[in-house]
A and B are shown apart, each in its own frame.
Chain A
């Protein structure tokens, strides 16, 4: 028989140009949004304590940038610690649940119940347990928030393996460990990353919420809270911008890690064939 399809050559050069073009709509929406905000606040003389102008927030951000940076990094470290803890535990529990189903049956309801805890109510308790000034109190809150999405998504990936994939491994007389290593875990990676991406933002939220209930002055959440209570809303907004920027960067880093480790996934097919 004849080979009818030739291997597809990969055009790496075009990829960069495409990516820039892909981002254009988002950048345009951002510019229009900020422009509209600025215009409307100016046109309707909106009071600064209600909604400051983007230019004023930008000014405040710029003048306080070094303080914001160090506060942001302080909070980000708490978030990162909680993220590592919560996600790590989430992946571990998912592996245990997938390996031993009765365990999932016994503990899954409690994992779901834990997810239903209103984190706002939980934050003061953590502060009380570990100490207001101890970063671990914020890490614990971030960890609780990160745990569930990572665990549930990873578990789904580990268990949603096509039956014939398992039968194929059986036909090779492959053991359980081999099945996990060669089939279940790779199959779970895209799902796990979905959870890990959601968790990045949650960990920042967890750390800041924890700081709202008390924390050291060098923390970003405490700064935002203080600025708000003293009526410095523009400064508070600058703090929020810093928190968001860190959240976005964190998300982007994990998304990049996903691209690098799951480039085989069909969802990445544009990267292979274009």
Chain B
């Protein structure tokens, strides 16, 4: 069964701006798909459509063979935003167990899972800290642990490392790949960074500027597991170049792709 199936997705905002047009995309279970494109190409909007946080103007979204809303109600996906979106009044452990509380897991089961998750994101020892006592990178790891805590089949990530420095970002990239392989979940990942997209993905979907369309797809055949040396391989540079060329062909000014979009696709 296809993890995500998008057919003829279009999105228009009230102001008459067409954010997305005719998006066709299938994501198979276990894939790691990145959406990359210039600022304002609607990639975050597309992610939010997959997650049923906003409705498309036209087209259908199927997640695990169900309409997106059904999938959301079934807790089929975990989401990670650019900001960690942690609740200050909850400790790290309680932030991670939030979705478990909503799923009515009992305390014993919750605590066991939180412990597992803390190990997974290597934050053991910080259970009783509050979010603002952690660095940005650590906060984002808590956010990832929370998204994975209830073992959703689909992980939606909206520029999760966009606000982090390059070194932290590369470290978390490696860590995310390890987690992805351990959990076997499907990931849809929005990013501005070409190297990040190539390093992480099994497939990179290149999007054109507004209205956002799928301009091309690059299959990433780099071997797993990927490590820091992957970034030094000739094949890595070839793929980075190919994505860059596709972005250029799609009409993206090259300088723009690395810039963080602060209010992209506000809906």
Contact = CB atoms under 8 A, between A and B. Distances in A.
Given A170-B53, A171-B51, A264 B79 contact: no
Contacts of A8: 129, 133
Contacts of A174: 102
A168 B122 contact: no
A167 to B, nearest CB: 5
A66 to B, nearest CB: 44
B89 A171 contact: no
Interface in B129-147: 129-130, 132-135, 138
Contact-residue bracket for chain B: 35 or more
Contacts of B125: 3, 6-7
A178 B122 CA distance: 30
Question: Helix, strand, loop or mixed for chain A's interface?
Answer: helix
A78 B125 CA distance: 49
Interface string B3-18: 0000000000000000
A264 to B, nearest CB: 5
A172 B99 contact: yes
Interface string B63-82: 00000000011010111010
B209 to A, nearest CB: 25
Contacts of B133: 8, 269, 272-273
Contacts of A273: 133
Interface of B: 48, 51, 53, 72-73, 75, 77-79, 81, 83, 85, 87-91, 98-99, 101-103, 122-123, 125-126, 129-130, 132-135, 138, 171-172, 174-175
Interface of A: 1, 3, 5-8, 162, 164-165, 167-168, 170-174, 178, 182-183, 186-187, 189, 262, 264-266, 269, 272-273
20 contacts: A3-B122, A3-B125, A5-B138, A165-B87, A168-B79, A171-B53, A173-B73, A173-B102, A178-B102, A187-B89, A189-B89, A264-B88, A264-B89, A264-B91, A264-B130, A266-B88, A269-B132, A269-B133, A272-B133, A273-B133
